[in-house]
Structure formats: C-alpha cells, structure tokens
C-alpha cells in the first residue's frame, strides 16, 4: 500500500487489494504496518485516533474477513489506548471475522536517519510488553511489526515457542530499506527456519515521507519467493509447510544454542 492520512481512504484501498488477493487464491492475507493511516503530525494523529472497539477500519476488515472466509492479518493500525497515548497494533481476524490475536509493537522506532529524517515513535505510542503467537490451520504464527526485525532474539524466542511463520508488516524507510530490508528478512527466516511474511508500505506519503516497499515472502532456507517491488499491489506464494522442518533438520540452530556469560565492559580481552 501507499497509505495516506485518512482512514476511510486507506480502508477502501486495502479492501480492493484484499479482494484481489482472495480472487487469486489467498487463504491468509497480510497488510502492511500503518494500514489505517500514515499521519506524521502527532496532533492530527490523535484527532483521528479511536479505541480499537470503535475503529471503523477494523469493523470493515472484520466484516471483510467473514465475507471472504479468509484469515486476515491487518499488519498494524494506530489505536487509542489512553489519553495522549496510542498502540501500534497488529490484529489477526479469523474467517468468521473474530479477533484471533492482537500484538502491540514492542520496539519503538526512535532513530535519526542519516538522510536527515528523525523518527520518535515513542512520543505517540506505548510499546508492547509481550510476544504473541497465533494458531493458524497450517501452523503457528509469530506476530511482530517493522522495527522489531532488528531484534533477532525476539524471533528466536517465537520459533522456539513453536512458530513456523513470522509476520513482519512494515513501513520501512527508503534509506534503511535499500541497505537492510532484504538482508534482515532473509536472516530472520534462516535463523529460525520459518517462513517470513513481510508486507510493506511503498512510495511517498504525507509530508514527503518515503517508504521502501518490496513486500516479501521468504522461505525457511532464505529464498525470496515473492517481491512486490515499489508499487501498490499484491504478492502471492504457495507455502509448503514441510519446508520448515526440512530447513531445521539441515541446520538445527534452534536446538544447538548454549548458555554463555556476557562479558562486562571492565573485563577487558
């Protein structure tokens, strides 16, 4: 997607793509981070924010999942959780339109980018405090969002808790995406022996923010099965769940880890 500032417009754009994905055979459909809006101004963001139960976009996605009979993971939406505070929340709907799982993004994107952009996600959002797994008909899904991908220990924990699939919806900056997007996603797949589903925002958004795009589906051995490029649209792949155990049998890194002492700064060489 190239999400804009207005939730109703983003709902319409996402709905069109979700219907297209279903028509082309998708059973599990995943949208990017910030599906309901990309509003860079904090004051305007909080004018539009509502609680999860009052969010018209989520009501629309719930009805759509039930209508189409699909598992629908809305990569993330901004929802109000307290006065002056929001959550960046990923929500999974089952084929009845019921919420099967929700995950609040743990790692906040508080970064100065060398291209001159500054991001302070923690000024508006409260970080989540727990990892989340969801059971799908085909296996277990570990739910994460965007900046989480730089924290490999989270994905190892999800895989060791039974995840065969990892969702990493994102609104990755163009500058960092060009350098790290493909590498990090392939690394998370290889380290865990999981499939990675990473739908991404693309293009130019409000106030000139640029996102990298390249929605990816990555196999457990690290092969990129689909790459969405830099335009809005859908990517599809057929997922053979047997590849998870095959990859883990070839390199059983999840089983071979060992405890170790962490050196202190004063310990020297």
Closest C-alpha to 173, from 108, 119, 252: 119
Confidence of residue 196 (pLDDT cuts 50, 70, 90): very high
Window from 55-64, 119-128, 152-161 with minimum mean pLDDT: 119-128
Q: What does the pLDDT read at residue 266?
A: 65
Instruction: Check whether 118 has a pLDDT greater than 90.
Output: no
Which of 77, 64, 74 is CA-nearest to residue 15? 64
Catalytic residue among 33, 34, 39, 194: 33
Q: Looking at the domain covering 7-256, what would its CATH class be?
A: alpha beta
Looking at residue 269, its pLDDT comes to: 52
Beta strands 110-112 and 99-104, pairing class: unpaired
**Residue of 22, 34, 39, 105 with catalytic role:** 105
Query: Model pTM?
Result: 0.95
**Confidence tier at 268 by pLDDT (50, 70, 90):** low
User: Would you state the pLDDT for residue 217?
Assistant: 98
Which pair of structure tokens corresponds to residue 113?
């980018």
pLDDT at 117: 78
Mean pLDDT of all residues in 122-131: 96
105 is catalytic: yes
Please give the full DSSP string across 157-178, using - where no structure is assigned: HHHHTTEEEEE--B--BHHHII
> Catalytic pick from 22, 34, 146, 194?
146
pLDDT at res. 112? 87
Assign 92 to helix, strand or coil.
Answer: strand
Q: What is the mean pLDDT of the chain?
A: 96
Give tens-digit pLDDT for 214-224: 999 999 999 99
pLDDT tens-digit series, residues 159-189: 999 999 999 999 999 999 999 999 999 999 9
146 carries an active-site annotation: yes
Residue 2 has a pLDDT of 98
**Region 39-62: what's the mean pLDDT?**
96
pLDDT digits (tens, 9 = 90+) for 145-154: 999 999 999 9
pLDDT, residue 116, reads 72
**What is the model's pLDDT at position 226?**
98
Q: Is the pLDDT of residue 91 over 70?
A: yes
pLDDT value at residue 169: 98
């Amino acid at each position: 997607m190239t999400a804009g500032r207005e939730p109703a417009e983003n709902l319409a754009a996402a709905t069109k793509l979700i219907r297209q994905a279903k028509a082309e055979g998708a059973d599990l459909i995943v949208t990017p981070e910030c599906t309901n809006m990309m509003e860079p101004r904090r004051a305007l963001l909080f004018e539009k924010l509502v609680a999860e139960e009052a969010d018209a976009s989520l009501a629309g996605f719930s009805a759509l999942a039930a209508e189409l009979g699909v598992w629908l993971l809305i990569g993330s939406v901004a929802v109000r959780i307290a006065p002056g505070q929001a959550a960046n929340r990923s929500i999974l709907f089952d084929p009845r339109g019921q919420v099967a799982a929700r995950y609040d993004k743990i790692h906040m994107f508080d970064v100065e980018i060398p291209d001159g952009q500054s991001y302070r996600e923690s000024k508006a959002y409260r970080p989540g405090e727990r990892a989340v797994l969801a059971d799908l008909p085909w296996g277990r899904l570990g739910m994460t969002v965007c900046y989480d991908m730089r924290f490999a220990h989270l994905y190892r924990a999800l895989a060791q808790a039974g995840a065969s699939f990892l969702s990493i919806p994102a609104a990755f900056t163009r500058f960092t995406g060009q350098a790290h997007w493909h590498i990090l996603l392939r690394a998370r797949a290889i380290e865990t022996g999981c499939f990675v589903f990473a739908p991404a925002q693309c293009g130019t958004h409000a106030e000139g923010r640029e996102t990298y795009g390249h929605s990816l589906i990555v196999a457990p051995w690290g092969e990129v099965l689909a790459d969405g490029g830099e335009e809005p649209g859908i990517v599809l792949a057929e997922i053979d769940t047997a590849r998870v155990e095959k990859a883990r049998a070839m390199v059983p890194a999840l089983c071979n880890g060992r405890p170790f002492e962490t050196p202190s700064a004063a310990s020297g060489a």
